[in-house]
Amino acid sequence: MGRQFLSSIGALAVVIAVASTAPISVAGQGPASAAKASAGAKKWTPPRTSDGQPDLQGVWEFATITPMERPKELAGKQVLTAEEAAEFEVEHNRRENRDLIDPEKGGSIYPPGAVVPYNEFWYDRGSKVVGTRRTSLIVDPADGRIPPLTPEAQKRQDALAVAQREDQLPGGHPHADSWEDRSVTDRCILGFNSGPPMVPGAYNNNVQIFQSPEYVVIHNEMNHNARIVPLDGRPHLTQQLRPWAGDSRGRWEGNTLVVDTRNFFRETSLRGSGANTHLVERFTRVDPDTIDYEFTVDDSTTWTSPWTASFPLTKSRSQLFEYACHEGNYALKGILAGARAQENAEEASRKK
């Protein structure tokens, strides 16, 4: 889940707390459904590649401040009014502006003397809600919330919370015994928003798509992750072969590119997910500047039921830039070296 979404929830609830929370009847649940509902009014034909398939090529951006999950305070409210959306955008952008919360500049979120990791120049989280003004990117279940964890997954989460607390105790650093204990984002193997699936985040919300008759390449700016997706109907790899970003296979269903990914090595970019995640993504170009992106996650070892999110990819006039992940290049060595130094100090203290 994009990190800015967590801080968005409180602002979103405050902005429309006085609004009606009655369910709103809309045509469809997400951008793809809305496009289908309006198709009868004006039919748009996507451009075609040389082999006759819809042309999805180009650079697309997916930044948005719409939260992944619908805030509990807005249960039953699917869509914001235009006025509510405009007010939320103003309030959210003010709350998230790193220059405004810097204690050196009068901000109050960080304590005095704290270091703000980045100033606002480096963020590219977007400033708008999605065009449908939905209150969540999740379109299924209907409540806009990620389904509950399974009992086994809850136990894993609880154990992780305990381990994280123990990290702060003398002699406790179970997440620094080895580089393999660290997350895939700490190690700069996968980016927190590049997926799969792609999820809007604080920056680098850009993807470039290339096509040939035999393959589609999905190249994310975050961690310059490139998935090469075969379209020839070949079977998935055996379960013994598990790439970090999973094993993707693509097919066309009418004008929609469907990408099926499984056989992940470890967790994905989704909090709590694991190697058993089965992901289905759908890319549908609905106008010259928009691809409807939808993904469905099915991991019975983590969640009690599958769930689906949807948001637009918007045509960009820019290009991708190199992403340099210094956390893995420099900080990881410091984390492990610090743990070893702590162990040596404790051993020396015991020998006294």
What is the residue extent of each domain of the chain?
Answer: 3-47+66-140, 151-315
Q: What is the CA radius of gyration of the chain?
A: 22
In the 8-state DSSP scheme, what is residue 203? Answer: S
Tell whether the model's pLDDT for residue 266 goes beyond 90.
Answer: no
Tokens of 138: 């999740």
Mean pLDDT of the chain: 83
CA distance 114 to 109: 10
Q: Which phi and psi (to 5°) does residue 126 adopt?
A: 85, 170
pLDDT tens by residue, 277-309: 999 999 999 999 999 999 999 999 999 999 999
151-315 adopts what CATH topology? Lipocalin (2.40.128)
pLDDT reported for residue 25: 34
Tokens of 41: 């009014």
pLDDT tens by residue, 203-227: 999 999 999 999 999 999 998 889 9
CA neighbor of 304 nearest in space, from 150, 139, 153: 150
In the 8-state DSSP scheme, what is residue 321? Answer: -
Tell whether the model's pLDDT for residue 113 goes beyond 70.
Answer: no
pLDDT reported for residue 12: 47
CA neighbor of 156 nearest in space, from 297, 280, 276: 276
pLDDT reported for residue 258: 98
Pick the most confident of 73-82, 162-171, 266-275: 73-82
Contact present, 260 and 280 (Cβ < 8 Å): yes
Tell whether the model's pLDDT for residue 229 goes beyond 90.
Answer: yes
Looking at per-residue confidence, does 163 or 85 come out higher?
85
pLDDT reported for residue 114: 65
Per-residue confidence band for 21, with pLDDT thresholds at 50, 70 and 90: very low
Per-residue confidence band for 272, with pLDDT thresholds at 50, 70 and 90: confident
Q: Beta strands 225-230 and 206-211: pairing type?
A: unpaired
